[in-house]
Amino acid sequence: MGSRITFFEVEILDWKTKQQLCFLEKVEPHTTISDIQVMFHKMHPQWYPARQSIRLDPKGKSLKNEEILQLLPVGTTATLYFKDLGPQIGWTMVFLIEYTGPLFIYFVFYLRMPFIYGQDDRFTSGRHPVVNLACICHSFHYIKRLIETIFVHRFSHGTMPLRNIVKNCFYYWGFAAWLAFYINHPLYTPPYYGQKQVNFALIMFLTCEAGNFSIHITLSNLRRDGKRSKTCKIPYPTKNPFTWLFYFVSCPNYTYELGTWIGFTIMTQCVSVGLFTLLCFIQMTIWAKDKHCTYIREFKDYPSFRMSIIPFLL
């Protein structure tokens, strides 16, 4: 006779009120949290899987979708807790919204709309060449991001809370308007060292954009088994020289992104761009350190000489 299967009973309670929301009978041992979310959704259609947080403790962390019921520290009658994460939006749509805004907002200032700068004769004069170049570079940066979002990026997490899109758009759209206002202002002062400064900045900008794109391609190739693969692998340098930065840092995409904005700052010699670059550096450092720690925690053989974002320093 074959071994008898022991089925589980799963009770799901509201994480705050402890009210029972559903009771699942004869749940197979190999059932995943993702499967339980689907069962829960059938009983409560208003809570689709992406907005469900299933946890062992009311105030604990959400269980991962791929975790298996019989491997959890529960008995055959398992009590789980549900928290509503709120309406969700897919990451692809998040990035499309975030990056499309700056692209068009910048042009509003570049075209010097009368309601922004007025109709003074001085404000209808020709633009300095670096202003035109800055518009091209800024547009190129966000068009590149949109292309990467559609064709390159693979997301390990499918959605983000819808409420966060307002905060994110305020950041990207607001700073785009702030930068564009000063760069395209009719009284804008060109770089102190002239064309040499602009040429140096442009080379730096384009080099870092190419590097950033190369890193995104490399990271995408690590998830060939599906656009939303949960598999995490150690990224290593390839034959592409731009990826050799992986020898020194865990998140060279952020390193190149920082270099892009430093180049744009040098090109425009604008205080507002410099402040934006500083804020980008702080935020990307936080993300890079978090990713770096994740790599170290998940991989015992992770290269010990790698830093988070700045080679040999940070």
For 26-90, give the DSSP string: EE-TT-BHHHHHHHHHHH-TTS-GGGEEEESSTTSPPPPTT-BGGGSS--SEEEEEEEE--SEEE
Q: Mean per-residue pLDDT for 19-27? A: 94
Q: Mean per-residue pLDDT for 290-310? A: 94
Alpha helices in the chain (DSSP H): 33-43, 91-110, 114-117, 129-151, 164-183, 194-221, 252-268, 271-298
In this prediction the pTM is 0.84
In angstroms, the CA 237 to CA 217 distance is 12
Residue 181 has pLDDT above 90, yes or no: yes
Output the CA torsion 218→222→223→224 (10° steps).
Answer: 90
Percentage of the chain lying above the pLDDT 90 cut: 75
pLDDT given at position 242: 97
In angstroms, the CA 229 to CA 154 distance is 8
> Which comes out higher in pLDDT, residue 168 or 282?
282
Q: Which residues sit opposite 295 in a β-bridge?
A: none
The three-state secondary structure class of 119 is coil
Residue 61 has pLDDT above 80, yes or no: yes
Residue 190 has pLDDT above 60, yes or no: yes
Helices 129-151 and 252-268: crossing angle, nearest 10°? 160
Q: Mean per-residue pLDDT for 210-235? A: 80
Return the ∠ at Cα 258 (arms to 135 and 235), rounded to 5°: 125
Residue 270 has pLDDT above 80, yes or no: yes
pLDDT in tens, 127-140: 899 999 999 999 99
pLDDT given at position 182: 94
In angstroms, the CA 53 to CA 14 distance is 10
Q: Mean per-residue pLDDT for 145-164? A: 85
* 1 pLDDT tier (thresholds 50, 70, 90): very low
* Polymer length in residues for the chain: 314
pLDDT given at position 6: 83
Residue 205 has pLDDT above 70, yes or no: yes
Contacts of 147 (CB under 8 A, 6+ apart): none
Computed over every residue of the chain, the mean pLDDT equals 91
pLDDT given at position 228: 46
Q: Which of 57-71, 147-161, 275-289 has the largest mean confidence?
A: 275-289
pLDDT in tens, 118-127: 765 555 567 8
Place of tokens 């019921």: 69
Q: Which of 258, 253, 257 is nearest to 217 (CA)?
A: 253
How far from each other are the two terminal CA atoms of the chain, in whole angstroms?
61
pLDDT given at position 239: 95
Q: Mean per-residue pLDDT for 271-285? A: 96
Residue 227 has pLDDT above 50, yes or no: no
* 111 pLDDT tier (thresholds 50, 70, 90): confident
Contacts of 310 (CB under 8 A, 6+ apart): 249, 255
Residue 199 has pLDDT above 90, yes or no: yes
Residue 314 has pLDDT above 80, yes or no: yes
